[in-house]
Amino acid sequence: MNKKQAEKRIKELRAILDYHAKKYYDEDSPEISDFEYDMLMNELKNLEKEFPEFITKDSLTQKVGGNVKEGFEKVEHVVPLQSLQDVFSYDELREFDIRVRKEVTPKYVVETKIDGLSVALEYKNGIFVRGATRGNGQVGEDITENLKTIKTIPQKLKENIDIIVRGEVFISTKDFELLNEEQEILEKPLFANARNAAAGSLRQLDSKITASRPLSIYIFNVQKSDTIKFTSHYESLLYLEKLGFTVNPVKVLCKNINEAIKEIEKIGENREKLSFGIDGAVVKVDDLAQREILGETFKTPKWAIAYKYPPEQKETILKDIVCQVGRTGAITPMAILEPVKLQGSTISKTTLHNEDFIKEKDLKIGDTILIQKAGDVIPEVVSVVKEKRTGEEKEFVMPRTCPVCGSIAIREEGEAVLRCIGIECPARLFRSIVHFASKNAMNIDGLGFSITKELLDRNLIKNIADIYYLKLEDVASLKKNGKKFASNLINAIEASKSNDLSRLINALGIRHVGTKTAKTLADKFRNIDNLMNATLLELAQTEDVGEIIALSIKNFFEQEQTLDIIAKLKEAGVNTEKIVEELIDNRFKGQTFVLTGTLEKYSRDEASKIIERFGGKTSSSVSKKTSYVLAGSEAGSKLDKARGLGVNIISEDEFENMIK
């Protein structure tokens, strides 16, 4: 590569890496794997090494990625939180050792490189006073209140000392799976990986959100201590444990680089057994005086290095493709593989995501395929080894009915996912019941995740209608001394029978039908039978509905499962009629309100009902036709749009004056 070509490629790489660094560090939503990012960074480092005249201060090779998020106070680190130089081979580790031994005769500490978010914790007189993210290494974000919600961070140490320590906040593999399961049930976007789930959780402006996430921390370094002086890193880690910190559990003192490499190999072989994700292993010089001699660059210390495990690839046979049904009704193809050993574990199946993925990879049953783990726990299909095809391979066709309940399966335009729409489907029953009982649906207080799971596990309910046939003694058996709880839950179930039709429509979980559309449907069709018997044209001509939602509603009410559930709900005494609120007067007739932000005096539901009783209506989006935007605290994009369109913006006090 000549000088001109190198300059062009360096500029290209910097632009690509800057984009992906922003996605990873600032937005916590990566678009490429860690391995792909590392390979791009490695290419840039090598080019800058060969052509040093093109090195600039703003290159990611010269700084730590990440910026301070708006909304957080800036914290200037007393001791910079540096990053580590990455290497990808044992030869590079030995080269590192040669450089070190030119200056000192070292012992090394090998630790797992935990895949999380790096933070600094500051203690005064043994009390936790401040915590910050790494940020750009020099300046981070003050996230003290969020860090206080993590149970493994001690608020008070066992000794009254002043100390700053560094650790990695993470979510365990098991907790990450449960977190994504909950996201799926609530129909929220899934987290890409545990690292980004942890980073996103920790960088929330609302500490209540952070507190709801299963975060943990491992401490791995003393940044500064005026009270205690250490001679070795390993010694400092043992002392941190005595103070009450949860220290990185994998920390091994090695006499030389060969012992360190053996330990790295051991970690690689056993990484599947770890309860937390790692993206490599770290080798550190143990003697702190030797570290002073070796020194550091602006970005990285010269006394430590990070080894990244290369993705291991193996060939295997795609024996079959079967479909699984998730809790939202998503039907996912799963590859059944000839068992193969990969990175310490035996792989016999893996997800194929959706129909488009199978077509894109040109997968056929019987193919020889290449699979890998690129630093992640879940194996992935890389490609088909087409030269090994025999002609006996079979095409796979996605089913058009649910493999669990037999209901029709629908793939909507613009979506990659095939979905079961059966309301009684056992695979999606848990999610259906949780949604049915939720606040914006039937609002059955007490019927949350854990109680729903217990009811299903004990076969006390088999569909949403069964909720209304529960007996006091059935519910009481779920908890020790559970009579009071049972009484409250049965009362909440009974009270939900008198809800308005709009709540019931929303609770049924019809795809694309939320609170607003359910209210519109209830207003137009007045009872559940009229809605069930409506033609596709009648549905499509309803305000806020349209063709896609109309088809979804029509398909839903054509299922025998749906008809069965509606009949059982009626029999149980659940209201299926529109409850007509008494109209006070028509002062808001022809006017549309949009509610945004947090209202202090009313819930949004209460404010909407008041508007309707004065002849007005509410909408979920701002347009030129919007009459008023009722804005509470922390109003966001809707308020900005209203200002841009010149729509009247009113406060709660102004709203109260309007309804006097």
Cβ-based neighbours of 109, under 8 Å, separated by 6 or more: 233, 234, 237, 251, 252, 253, 254, 283, 284, 286
Asked if 617 is an active-site residue, the reply is no
CA 356 to chain centroid: 23
CA 452 to chain centroid: 23
DSSP E strand boundaries for 257-389: 278-285, 304-307, 312-325, 330-342, 345-351, 368-373, 380-384
Task: Give the sign of the dihedral formed by CA 565, CA 567, CA 568, CA 573.
Answer: positive
Structure tokens at 539: 């549905």
Give Cα separations from 264 to 95, 233, 316, 441 (angstroms): 16, 18, 27, 52
**Tokens 């490499």, located at residue:** 261
Strand order in the sheet with 163-170: 127-133, 117-124, 163-170, 216-224
CA 528 to chain centroid: 36
User: Which has the closest alpha carbon to 60: 15, 116, 114, 5?
Assistant: 15
Distance CA 363, CA 357 (A): 9
Distance CA 631, CA 615 (A): 20
Distance CA 330, CA 356 (A): 14
- Amino acid identity, residue 537? L
Distance CA 453, CA 459 (A): 10
Q: How many residues does the chain have?
A: 660
Beta bridge partners of 617: 592
Beta bridge partners of 108: 254, 285
Cβ-based neighbours of 263, under 8 Å, separated by 6 or more: 110, 252, 254, 281
Give Cα separations from 226 to 57, 131, 134 (angstroms): 33, 18, 22
Query: 422 and 331 in contact (C-beta within 8 Å)?
Result: no
Instruction: Tell me whether residue 70 is exposed, middle or buried, using C-beta atoms within 10 angstroms of its C-beta: 0 to 12, 13 to 18, 19 or more.
Output: exposed
Q: Helix, strand or coil for residue 581?
A: coil
Buried b (16+ CB within 10 A) or exposed e, 436-455: bbbeebbbbeebeeebbeeb
> How do 86-87 and 304-307 pair as beta strands?
parallel
Among 45, 49, 107, 113, the active-site one is 113
Distance CA 322, CA 332 (A): 8
Distance CA 86, CA 300 (A): 10
Distance CA 364, CA 385 (A): 11
Q: If you write DSSP's letter for every residue of 265-277 in order, what string do you get?
A: HHHHHHGGG-SS-
Alpha helix stretches (DSSP H) within 22-166: 34-50, 90-101, 144-147
- DSSP H or E run through 549: helix 546-557
Q: Which residues are catalytic?
A: 113
